[in-house]
């Protein structure tokens, strides 16, 4: 191997970051290699400069907000702006089916992917799990704004984990309502939720009291509840009657009680940012527990 004079660098300090996104030789997808090479200058016995040298700005900070051709980069942060490290970020090639490039967020939540130089558009997404109350919750996110972009242009695509909510579906025990009372209507069920400990996002949360309504996910209950653990109680409030206390239990468990604690679960089948649970309700005056 030979080099021409123009390829010889007399004085340099090179910082190079290689983001491995494809399986090439022995380099595995999703790894980041940081390499530095030092060169010795050709100035003999340099005198000490009297002009202060400004501190070098880290490359990642200098270029974090600069769009680069065939590069996509950004941050994965939670609602408080804290980084979420060690999460795989996917760049989905919209031209070729099931063709992705990946990397992993660093301790700052930052990622950078050097895209294949092909005429294609890309869309960013990620899937990962976080623990809450001893249970793993699967999370699916698209980049903020969820806009595709051309690889030749490059892009900055940030992710923010926020506005996670759950839907609570109500299953009434119709046999607990005597014929002497009005016909049951889910809209007459008043539900009170009290947070038990911090919510998923770390906030204290607030008490919620609302009437059941139709859910986009099907059935009736409460929607868009900030993700967390709650204690639930319920009353039946048909028009023209005094409120009547109800018994409640998590669907699939055995015993009714005046209140019950519950967590939200991933939507069956996955792929949704809405979490769910279901509660059975019946009149407290019913003798069938």
The predicted structure's pLDDT at residue 218: 84
pLDDT value at position 243? 94
CB-based contacts of 193, cutoff 8 Å, min separation 6 = 168, 207, 208, 209, 222, 225, 230, 231, 232
pTM of the model: 0.70
Q: In the block, which residue shows the tokens 């299953």?
A: 171
Of the candidates 232, 270, 250, 249, the residue with the CA atom closest to the CA atom of residue 137 = 270
Q: What are the respective helix, strand and coil percentages of the chain, to the nearest 5?
A: 5, 45, 50
Q: So what's the pLDDT on residue 33?
A: 29
- Which 8-state DSSP code applies to residue 27? B
Distance linking the first and last C-alpha atoms of the chain? 85
Residue 261 token pair: 């604690």
Give the separation between CA 106 and CA 87, rounded to whole angstroms: 8
pLDDT of residue 286: 61
What pLDDT, on a 0 to 100 scale, did the predictor assign at position 64? 65
Q: Running DSSP on this structure, what letter comes out for residue 188?
A: G
Looking at residue 288, its pLDDT comes to 52
Residues of the chain below pLDDT 70:
1-64, 269-272, 286-289
Domains and CATH numbers, the chain: 14-37+64-161 (2.60.40), 165-283 (no CATH)
Closest CA to 267 of 210, 216, 229: 216
Name the token pair of 149.
């972009």
> For the purposes of burial, counting CB atoms within 10 Å of the CB of 238, is it exposed (0-12), middle (13-18) or buried (19 or more)?
middle
């Amino acid at each position: 191997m030979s080099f021409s004079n123009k390829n010889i660098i007399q004085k340099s300090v090179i910082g190079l970051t290689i983001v491995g996104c494809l399986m090439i030789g022995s380099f595995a997808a999703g790894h980041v290699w940081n390499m530095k090479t030092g060169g010795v200058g050709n100035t003999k016995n340099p005198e000490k400069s009297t002009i202060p040298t400004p501190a070098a700005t880290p490359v990642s900070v200098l270029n974090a907000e600069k769009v680069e051709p065939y590069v996509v980069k950004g941050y994965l942060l939670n609602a408080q702006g804290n980084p979420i490290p060690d999460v795989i970020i996917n760049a989905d090639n919209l031209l070729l089916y099931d063709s992705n490039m990946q990397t992993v967020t660093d301790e700052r939540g930052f990622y950078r992917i050097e895209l294949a130089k092909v005429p294609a558009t890309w869309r960013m997404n990620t899937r990962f799990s976080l623990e809450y109350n001893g249970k793993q919750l699967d999370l699916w996110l698209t980049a903020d704004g969820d806009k595709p972009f051309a690889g030749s242009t490059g892009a900055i695509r940030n992710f923010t984990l926020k506005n996670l909510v759950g839907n609570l579906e109500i299953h009434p025990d119709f046999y607990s309502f005597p014929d002497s009372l009005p016909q049951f209507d889910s809209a007459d069920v008043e539900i009170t939720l009290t947070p038990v400990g911090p919510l998923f996002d770390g906030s204290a949360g607030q008490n919620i009291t609302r009437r059941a309504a139709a859910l986009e996910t099907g059935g009736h209950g409460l929607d868009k509840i900030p993700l967390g653990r709650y204690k639930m109680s319920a009353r039946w409030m048909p028009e023209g009657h005094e409120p009547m206390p109800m018994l409640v239990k998590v669907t699939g468990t055995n015993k009714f009680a005046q209140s019950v604690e519950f967590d939200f679960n991933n939507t069956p089948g996955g792929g949704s940012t809405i979490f769910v649970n279901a509660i059975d309700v019946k009149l407290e005056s019913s003798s069938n527990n």
